[in-house]
Amino acid sequence: MPDFVQFDLPALVDSFPLKAQRFEVPAHQTHKAAAVICNANGIPTRFYRDFALWLARNGVSVLTFDYRYSGLSWPPELAHLVGRGSTVESRIEAIRQISEDVSATTHWGARDTAAAIRYASERWKGVPLVAVGHSIGSIFLALLGEERHLISRFLNVCIGNYFVGNNDDPSLFGDILREIVPILEKERIWYSNRLGVGLELPYGIGREIADWFAAPRHAFHSESARQTIRQIDKPYLTVGFEDDYVVTKIMISKFLSQFSHSDGLKASLWIDPDAQRPPWAPCGHIMSFAPNEVSEASEGEAPAPKREETIWAVYLNWILNGAVDPSVGEYKVWRVEDEFDPLEKEEWEYSFEENEPFRKPRAGKHSGVAIPKL
């Protein structure tokens, strides 16, 4: 039996052919759970292949897929421009033929991600279905409609409220956006690799993501989005890392604070890989899903433990058991008192011209925000 099966998964509404990969648990092993991995921005499914194979060997069937117009998910007439070995020029040629109306939440989320959840739920009935979101993938999972009822629990990795004002150095993202947004508007291409993640993407995807960076509630700025995330009533774990160059503790706090916590089902786990004994291989924003090599060890030091023994074991424990070993990091179960709306406590705006965020306290509102300790 092959390690995985690749097939076309039709998206909801328009049946766009998504390239998906199905990893089955070996016949001689007990089938314990199923997982759908929702990629980070511009990261192709092949990046998650080793992790998916390892999960399957440990009793978890896995579905991976590329969002439309990324990775392998392209219509046949454009596929020859974007395959492995393609050039930047050929990928841009393909992207320029895509409608600028393609959006992250509507197409990548409500159509592509929702289709993957439905497929996995039908394929692997009888075992818990765990939704694994990496970075932006967690946003699409949080905004699911009826499909969220098919999910037993959520695992979110490296997601936060990326509003520029939540960064330790707000000017950092301001500088990046001042560089990327004008290029986006001029060339009609989202160069996500200039944020350190992924490849070139369609204009509509980039325009929406850029808008999130300038919104205090990030992806949840609409009333419907805020109502949707507050209806999540399943175990929900968010994992972040000290060596992540994108997501900070404050960002995770501002992300989770917008959810309802009356059920006590949402939790966060903040891990410092270097503080573990022995130290883990770096996890950062991307690498926790990739197998580490001996070459990652510093000269004269013993190699870091394999990720199968460290962070992958943390992920597996949650996927199979909904459990967390609090000794690996700063673990917190969120309560009602941790809820707050960024715009209820203070109003943020961002000026690309001035290159800095600034507070505008509302009348009758205090401007200081107490960030819940993770």
- Record the pTM: 0.89
Domain boundaries of the chain, sorted by first residue:
5-161+219-345
**Confidence (pLDDT) at 204:** 95
pLDDT tier at 176 (50, 70, 90 boundaries)?
low
pLDDT in tens, 239-256: 999 999 889 999 999 999
φ, ψ (nearest 5 deg) of residue 346: -160, 155
Kindly report the length of the chain: 374
Extended strands (E) in the chain = 5-10, 17-23, 33-38, 60-65, 129-134, 153-157, 189-191, 200-202, 236-241, 266-271, 330-333, 348-351, 356-359
5-161+219-345, CATH topology level? Rossmann fold (3.40.50)
Res 168: pLDDT: 72
Give the burial string for 160-184 (b: 16+ CB within 10 Å, else e): bbbbbbbbeebeebbeebeebbeeb
How do residues 55-83 score in pLDDT, each as one tens digit?
A: 999 999 999 999 999 999 999 999 999 97
